[in-house]
Amino acid sequence: MTIITPVAFPAARMRRMRRDPFSRNLMRENVVTAHDLIYPVFILDGTNQRQQVASMPGVERVSVDLLMKVAEECVALGIPVLALFPVIDQSLKTYDGIEATNPNGLVPRAVRELKRNFPELGILTDVALDPYTTHGQDGLPDETTGYIMNERTVAMLTRQALAQAEAGVDVVAPSDMMDGRIGTIRTALEQQGFIHTRIMAYSAKYASAFYGPFRDAVGSAANLGKADKNTYQMDPANSNEALREVALDLAEGADMVMVKPGMPYLDVVRRVKDEFKVPTYAYQVSGEYAMLKAAAQNGWLDHDKVMMESMMAFKRAGADGVLTYFALDIARKLKAA
Ligand code: PBG
């Protein structure tokens, strides 16, 4: 697209419209509302449990009883969806991550409790094995080569997604990057009668160093050690490949697609939105949050201003919504304004 400027200075003075608040308001192209937010929360077993996440100031892991207070505030602020990430006890972690499929595991229990108390609040659950495995990988490694086995992982993920759907979750979000998982999960959901369960596919999920604090938060960092996820997550060098991933996930039955990380990948968000024009989301991941928080804590950046500006940047790039650990802070600020 070429920008046609019919006139030059001084007929065109770009600063005229910027001069007063009324004309700035009048020409604003994008807006951030509480409805754009998805709030990720880390959940724990037990009751009345609350732990700070050291590398994510202001973020805590909470037990399911305390999660209800969080949900209540989300509803009051107009945040449409809460995303659950479990902290699984080491004693429940195995090589195959079978606890992920337990219909009475932490995540299904939290989903039931949330839907019972707040039926109007959307609940999203992650589909991946890393919180449940002793090696911290999202799938099942071949015992000799360590290569993550695609089809066997997809079979486990499908059981995990069904356990979440049975518990009443609204959105399942496969974050594992196996090939064909969206199609297999969609078929299983349809066959079991879960025709309303939405799938938000982590379609363009990159092998990123920005996930570090998250792996601390769910306790998978130590298990993963020096290993990487490069055989399934995408190479940060690529964006044509992201379009192909999105096309496949849509063909397999995804309702929504996601790009992750967020701020360093806004070019990918824009390309996906322009190409497919489907509901498109971005994940402002743990490392992005940690980076902004650390600078703000040092007094180097204005916390609220960079938080709101980063959210506007996602909207401008074409995101319909953003998973962000700032969701509560943003919604509170919007309400107060
Ligand atoms: C697990 C998963 C990860 C994140 C969301 N789901 C970590 C990973 O892939 O290693 C990262 C979220 C964040 O950094 O905030 N599959």
Catalytic, 260? Answer yes
Residue 78 lies in a domain: yes
Residue of 214, 281, 293 to mutate, ligand 1, most atoms within 8 A of C-beta = 214
| Residue where the block lists tokens 């995101």 | 319
Q: Residue 319: CB within 6 Å of ligand 1?
A: no
Phi and psi, residue 211, nearest 5°: -90, 0
Residue 298 lies in a domain: yes
Catalytic, 205? Answer yes
Give the pLDDT of residue 6: 72
3-state secondary structure of 233: coil
Give the pLDDT of residue 1: 66
Please say if the pLDDT value at position 2 is more than 80. no
ipTM attached to this prediction: 0.97
Give residue 141's domain range.
31-336
- 3-state SS string for 151-177: HHHHHHHHHHHHHHHHCCCCEEEECCC
Q: Which two tokens stand for residue 175?
A: 């974050």
What is the average pLDDT score of the chain?
Answer: 97
Contact (Cβ atoms closer than 8 angstroms) between residue 223 and residue 136: yes
Residue 222: pLDDT band (50, 70, 90) is: confident
Q: How far is the CA of 96 from the centre of ligand 1 (A)?
A: 18
Lowest mean pLDDT among 225-229, 244-248, 263-267, 306-310: 225-229
How far is the CA of 238 from the CAs of 245, 295, 314, in angstroms? 11, 29, 20
How many domains is the chain built from? 1
Q: How far is the CA of 119 from the centre of ligand 1 (A)?
A: 26
Residue 22 lies in a domain: no
Report how far residue 282's alpha carbon sits from residue 261's, in angstroms, rounded to the nearest whole number.
7
Neighbours of 115 (CB within 10 A): 17
Residue 21 lies in a domain: no
Q: How far is the CA of 25 from the centre of ligand 1 (A)?
A: 37
Q: Which two tokens stand for residue 265?
A: 């990948």
Tens digits of per-residue pLDDT, 129-172? 999 999 999 999 999 999 999 999 999 999 999 999 999 999 99
Q: What is the mean pLDDT of residues 3-14?
A: 84
Q: What is the mean pLDDT of residues 292-316?
A: 98
Task: State the burial class of residue 305 (Cβ atoms within 10 Å of its Cβ: 0-12, 13-18, 19+).
Answer: exposed
Residue 221: pLDDT band (50, 70, 90) is: confident
Distance of CA 86 to the CA centre of its chain: 14
Q: In terms of residues, how long is the chain?
A: 337
Give the pLDDT of residue 248: 98
User: pTM here?
Assistant: 0.96
Residue 20 lies in a domain: no
Atom of ligand 1 nearest to the CA of 233: 9
Contact (Cβ atoms closer than 8 angstroms) between residue 252 and residue 186: yes
pLDDT above 70 coverage of the chain, percent: 99
Contact (Cβ atoms closer than 8 angstroms) between residue 183 and residue 161: no
Letter for the amino acid at 55? S
Q: What is the mean pLDDT of residues 45-50?
A: 97
Q: Residue 178: CB within 6 Å of ligand 1?
A: no
Residue 245 lies in a domain: yes
- CATH code at 207? 3.20.20.70
Q: Write the DSSP symbol of residue 94.
A: B
Residues 225-251, buried b or exposed e (16+ Cβ, 10 A)?
A: eeeebeebbbeeeebeebbebbebbbe
3-state secondary structure of 330: helix
Residue 2 lies in a domain: no
Strands 37-44 and 60-63: parallel
Residue 279 lies in a domain: yes
Report how far residue 144's alpha carbon sits from residue 133's, in angstroms, rounded to the nearest whole number.
17
Residue 219: pLDDT band (50, 70, 90) is: confident
Please say if the pLDDT value at position 5 is more than 80. no
Residue nearest to atom 5 of ligand 1 (CA): 175
Letter for the amino acid at 81? V
Residue nearest to atom 7 of ligand 1 (CA): 211
Candidates 93, 229, 260, 315; catalytic one:
260
Distance of CA 143 to the CA centre of its chain: 30
Q: Residue 288: CB within 6 Å of ligand 1?
A: no
pLDDT above 90 coverage of the chain, percent: 95
Of the candidates 288, 278, 260, the residue with the CA atom closest to the CA atom of residue 318: 278
- Asked whether the bond before 57 is cis by omega within 30 degrees of 0, the reply is no
Tens digits of per-residue pLDDT, 68-107? 999 999 999 999 999 999 999 999 999 999 999 999 999 9
Q: How far is the CA of 261 from the centre of ligand 1 (A)?
A: 9
Q: Residue 211: CB within 6 Å of ligand 1?
A: yes
Q: Which two tokens stand for residue 111?
A: 């989903």
Tens digits of per-residue pLDDT, 238-277? 999 999 999 999 999 999 999 999 999 999 999 999 999 9
